[in-house]
Chains A and B, each alone.
Chain A
């Protein structure tokens, strides 16, 4: 009897152990969804099937575009393009898992590339980009796509930020024109917040989704930057001043509740609900607002700290990078040749509501008056240092820490980020 009982208990315990282990492991082995890409394999053999892993910009357009593109690619080259669309939430995890399993796609669409270039995984533009294509790319994006003297990050689309303001709230608060300086900006935000009835002066998103973007555009308009002359300047006096200013907006209750824990999308939603006086937005937000037709808004250049300063815009581009795999070079080159044809790249960008990455694209989009504010500033747009692999980690550190400055000490937060950036390079 005794033995059977303990036998049962032992079995139960082992069962529980196995279950616990299984659950624990399942939690970290999720998402190895990458099928085997047909590209690699026998040396010397040319790949006839390549795989694209692309980020999902929108449910409606991204998959539709790439599926159509795959058809065109097949018709033109005879090669097959496998398309896998992944949401932005999961793409870091998926791409990392693919590389880890030694099974990267041939083309990966991501918002970073430098670490991949540093690891020697990528083709440079010299290998896979026709010179006519490269010379059409905007210089700012060639620069941001260049690591160690070679271009690895081919831009797929771009965006530029500007100040969105609610015309109805401005009128109600007696504000004649959008602010040109930070002082005016603060006055206007105070006026809007003073309207009561849940009105919010400024929608400030410093939550982990994209706090580096919000901070970037403010610091650029105070003469600050992440890096200057090859050195990290995250805790420069201008940047400390900028973050202190943003914190003061929260302290003075000119922003929405808890800006350090508000993500960009939440701030956009609030603006779209008509409660918010101003928010830093980009063209996809304009498309949403135009669709909803609820908020009468205007778009203005960013206010600058200095009186009469030149407004700076924050530009973002994402990348299409190509992984070195045996035999896939020609197929990859054909991919880029087709993607950068005017009727492909610009169709994609237009459908997604973003901005062009090529000189010919700017010409083509010029007729759209709605985009005028952005297009003028785009060639001079200020970008984050995506050409530095260290930035890939610094960006994450910023996302996870910047928001704490709203309730903490801005200088201490920036000092810590500066230290981690210096340690990483």
Chain B
């Protein structure tokens, strides 16, 4: 029952070959190594000392900072993704309007995306600096505050400061996904709405938003993954803070291997597996919930 044009097994394999090799090398091999590492006992030097069974997983779960780290991760991902989506919706609307200099603005929006995250994070650690930071200088000049704020040292400010940078670097990609989504909406539905006398707010809520839904869905899922896995921003901005007080699960994993008193590659690998599971569950749950709503609406 072979359909016409369908390639035979070996030929198909030939076409798929490069992709499969890439997946095997970039995804499968590291995954196997990660699982192996998580089941091994390592010396502080990195020397493998034998099998550990599930000891590493128990170690991670017993870590007294785990609760803090998970809470931080949740706050970080939810805050950055929600703010990014909301702001990007506005930015995308703006970028689709026709105005003088739009090309320049579009380029400007894309810059934070093109810059390396480490450089951006470093730049922000200078902007936020207590003694030399431009942000404090500005706020003091404008008399918004009377004493400088320790953005990266004051426990109340560290997370909001990091979230702001996270949003800043996530907007370009998200906004461009929305720009593409807006362009895909046919103009005749807007015309029809205008003829029917719908207010701009109504048009946006009842036409733009529902038709933009696939774009929002994709942007949310990809942002969740990017933001969850974001390392440089948190690691760099959080550099001078001792302990795990402001780490997410990703920087927690890194510190377990190289910076904390555990200094244990095995535990770090176990934490890495937990991380993969965590983000997969989060994404699947999100997709479930959003599809369930779709069915309810129809």
Contact = CB atoms under 8 A, between A and B. Distances in A.
Interface of A: 9, 13, 16-29, 92-93, 95-100, 115-116, 118-119, 121, 206-209, 211, 256-258, 260-263, 266, 270, 273, 275, 389, 392-394, 396-397, 399-404, 420
B42 interface: yes
A396 B47 contact: no
A401 B220 CA distance: 37
Given A16-B225, A115-B44, A121-B47, A257 B130 contact: yes
A20 B225 contact: yes
Interface in B236-252: 239-244, 250
Given A393-B262, A404-B242, 10 more contacts: A17-B283, A24-B272, A28-B34, A28-B253, A100-B37, A100-B47, A261-B241, A393-B261, A399-B242, A400-B260
A396 B46 contact: no
Interface residues of B, number: 56
Contacts of B257: 28, 93, 96
Contacts of B48: 100
Contacts of A275: 131
User: Majority SS of interface residues in chain A?
Assistant: helix
A121 B269 CA distance: 23
The 7 closest A-B pairs by CB, nearest first: A397-B261, A96-B46, A99-B46, A403-B242, A100-B46, A258-B153, A24-B276
A173 B279 CA distance: 58
B241 to A, nearest CB: 5
A399 B261 CA distance: 9
B119 interface: no
B23 interface: yes
Nearest to B276: A24
B242 A100 contact: no
B261 A115 contact: no
Which of B45, B239, B269, B275 has its CB near the most chain A CB atoms (within 10 A)? Answer: B45
A25 B242 contact: no
B276 A20 contact: yes
Contacts of B242: 206-208, 211, 260-261, 399-404
A257 B147 CA distance: 11
B106 to A, nearest CB: 26
B27 A95 contact: no
